Structure 1
Amino acid sequence: MFKLKKSFAGFLGLFMLFSLSQPSTASAIDKFSYLSAEEKVKIGIGSPRVNNEHVNGYTFQSIKKEESIIQTITINPSVFSPVIEIPIDFQNEENLILYQDSLGNTYNAGNIHNKNHNSIGIFSVQLVNDQGKGRANITSKIKDGNTLIVNVDKKYPLEPLTIIIEITASTFSTYFSEMKWIDRGGIKSLSLAQKPYLTNASDDGLERVKKLDAWDKVASIHRSNNQWSNTNGMRNQFDCHFDFAKKKDSWNLEPHRPNVDYLTTVIARCNP
């Protein structure tokens, strides 16, 4: 009896130790997992569906962490390439927009737009355990504005694949630690202190959607300010700083600067 009690006590102690060692910043969520975005908007990500009956099973887990929900989907070894559908629940006419560049190329990342067509968040799809081996390719599409479709083209059927879907409901403070209007030699300038999160991205697609999302935050906050003008010129200055002056302590956007094209802005070191 004593040995049994001692063993049980030891098991209980190990269980408590394991429980306390789990990350306190993340929590598992079932079914639809929701984030609160700007203007009391809620965004939910649902359970994925694999649309190939021949796929040999899959598992998934959704974790809420700070401003994001991270959904991890693991596809078991199979000779068939799956198509994964992830439903997104919107409640106020929001929709998913996959990023597309000027040449028509799309990426596995995009923005979440509100009914006014402003970005209120971002999403991305990543193949995380491929490690450059080319075992699979993924291509993302959007259906009806609220369903993320991921096509997986498997090259090595005997190995499992893990895909991560991340949705972030962003705010101005997601990207910037400070914003203020300052006087630079009698010239008004909007000074932005950017955070590393804005300029550190794991791939080109995610970098592009962050830039678009961050600009929408800046413009939506300051557009009504009486010191704001020359929106197109301010946008070119912002893009120039993002593309070529990421490491500056702050980005200064000056509305009095001439409204010239992006290339001219770059040649003038972001403040033409």
Structure 2
Amino acid sequence: MTTTERLAGRTALVTGGSRGIGRSISGRLARDGALVAVHYGHDHEAAQRAVKEIETAGGRAFAVHAELGVHGDAAALWQEFDARLADRGEEPGLDILVNNAGISVPGTVADVTEENFDRLVAVNARAPFFLVQHALGRLRDGGRIVNVSSAATRTAFPQITAYNMSKGALDTLTPDLAKQLGPRGITVNTVAPGFTDTGINPTLADPQVRQAYAAASVFGRVGTPDDIADAVAFLASDDARWVTGQWLNASGGVVLGP
């Protein structure tokens, strides 16, 4: 991996940036020249590995810790972010916010408990809302917000209904923010992955399940984290300056029909 100048001089924060799709997004934005804050909730070692990987490849990154889904999570994350920037002697502020962090609870409506539902909403919907709220004073004009949702919010997939509902909240947030922040030149868009090979989907370890998921794509394979990271990188770049309020299906053509 070698760095480019596409995002030179810009600072990005990727929530859940140490593993899976988030790790690939962090690496891609760093490769494009951004200073990347790699947020993590629990796995300190994974965050350090992600940062080390970026630095070894010639990029710039630092880890930011905050548990999401708890009271005061947004304020705690931004306080940590500000402190880490200051420690590095960097200018305060932000150019790119990627709301990627999320959790999943499998099960149909009959299976999900109230506790699980509340946790899903807290991490997948409430946390991004207040992270954006706290980011507004930090985000520079001409900045980017990218929300990572799910292709399952636009099709029936009852095996993870509660998860789909929580991600659907991001689909609603995106156009509202795009309208509000447009006068500042800030774009807001959603990227919606489909079946992607990450730790959040352990069912992919079953060869039959993997085959079924691969068959759902017109390309005949399961998506990779890099597939999603490249889509996010486009929306974070100047190339997407005239694109806002959009829902980008990054599912590999899942459920396009026969």
The answer to whether TM tops 0.5 is no
Q: TM class by shorter-chain length?
A: under 0.3
The structure that is strand-richer by fraction is: 1
- State the TM-score, normalized to the length of structure 2: 0.25
Which has more radius of gyration?
Answer: 1
The structure that is helix-richer by fraction is: 2
